Amino acid sequence: MNISINNLEKNKDEEESKIIPASELRQDIVSGDWVVIATGRAKRPDDFANFERIKDDKGIHECLFEDPVASGQEKDVLIYHKADGDWTLRVFPNKYPAFSQGKLEHPVSEGPYVAMAGLGYHEIVVTRDHYRQLAIMDVMEIAEVFDAYQDRYLDLMNKKNVNYIAIFHNHGKEAGASISHPHSQLMAIPVVAPYIQLELDGAKKYHKSNKHCVFCTVIEHESLEKKRIVFENDDFIAFCPFASRAAFEVHVMPKFHSPYFERITDEQKVSLAEVFSKALGSVYKALNDPPYNFYIHTAPCDGQDYKNFHWHIEILPHTANWAGFELDTGIEISTLQPEVAAEFLRKQL
Same domain, 165 and 36: no
**For residues 306 and 309, what is the distance between their CA atoms, to the nearest angstrom?**
6
b/e for 159-197, b at 16 or more Cβ within 10 A? eebbbbbbbebbbbbbbebebbbbbbbbbbbbebbeebe
Same domain, 32 and 172: no
Residue 261 domain-assigned (yes or no): yes
Of the CA atoms within 13 Å of residue 336, those in its CB half-sphere come to: 24
pLDDT in tens, 124-158: 999 999 999 999 999 999 999 999 999 999 999 99
pLDDT (mean) for 45-63: 79
Same domain, 36 and 117: no
pLDDT in tens, 84-96: 999 999 999 999 9
Of the three residues 189, 210, 233, the one that is the final residue of a domain is 189
Closest CA to 102 of 76, 75, 115, 121: 121
Query: Looking at residue 54, what is its pLDDT?
Result: 72
Same domain, 177 and 316: no
Same domain, 29 and 71: no
Residue 2 domain-assigned (yes or no): no
Residue 168 domain-assigned (yes or no): yes
CATH assignment of the domain containing 142? 3.30.428.10
Q: Is 126 exposed, middle or buried (0-12, 13-18, 19+ CB in 10 A)?
A: buried
Beta strand 87-93 with 78-81 is antiparallel
Same domain, 197 and 343: yes
Range of the domain at 237: 24-51+193-347
More confident residue, 309 or 108: 309
**DSSP β-bridge partners for residue 87:** 81
Residue 16 domain-assigned (yes or no): no
Residue 49: pLDDT band with limits 50, 70, 90: confident
Domains contained in the chain, number: 2
CA-CA distances (angstroms) from residue 90 to 74, 277, 313?
11, 20, 22
pTM (2 decimals)?
Answer: 0.92
